[in-house]
Structure 1
Amino acid sequence: MKQLVPSGHEEWQDRAVAAVHTASYALNHRLSHLALAGAREAARAALLALAAKTPRPTGSDVARLQELASASADHLAGRPAERDAMIRASLSAVTRLIQ
């Protein structure tokens, strides 16, 4: 039986990629709450996948993912342009880091 919680590096990467696709779809269809949830999941999964790498990546992309992963859902409420820009930047960071 397959585990519900990914255990290996590749499984976290796969989960991050799926979340990127979900968030991208949601952005394209103006589903902002789903886009934010997908981006947060992509950030969390990417950070867990990166934790297994040696040496661990650092820099602005990782900091952006940490910020989004720890942000509350209300963090960017009422600021749709800023929220969408942060989501797009985070999705780009996930894509760069997990390739």
Structure 2
Amino acid sequence: ADAVVVLENDLYQRLPADQVEQALARANTRVVLDHQRTRTAEGADFILPAASFAEGSGTLVNLEGRAQRFFRVFEPAYLRPETRIHESWRWLH
């Protein structure tokens, strides 16, 4: 792949490190969207700050197939107006 986009996931927790490094080495561009610093993010070319559950609003589908809404309870720009944190789906949109 020319580019790899990793969305809120640490690949090193899912696979052996050598497999992850081989897969990421093949990509020309590595983009990570996450709300925390992970080992996967350390090797990224671009890191986009994703909102945590408390900083974003949206809908998810649980393992039972039910839609669940969640709402923002914390506004990151309140304390730091220059912050550019968005929900992952908004970055992708």
TM-score range, shorter chain: under 0.3
> Which structure has the highest helix share of the two?
1
TM-score (normalizing by structure 2):
0.24
Structure with greater contact order relative to length (CA < 8 Å, sep ≥ 6): 1
> Which structure has the highest strand share of the two?
2
Larger of the two Rg values belongs to structure: 2
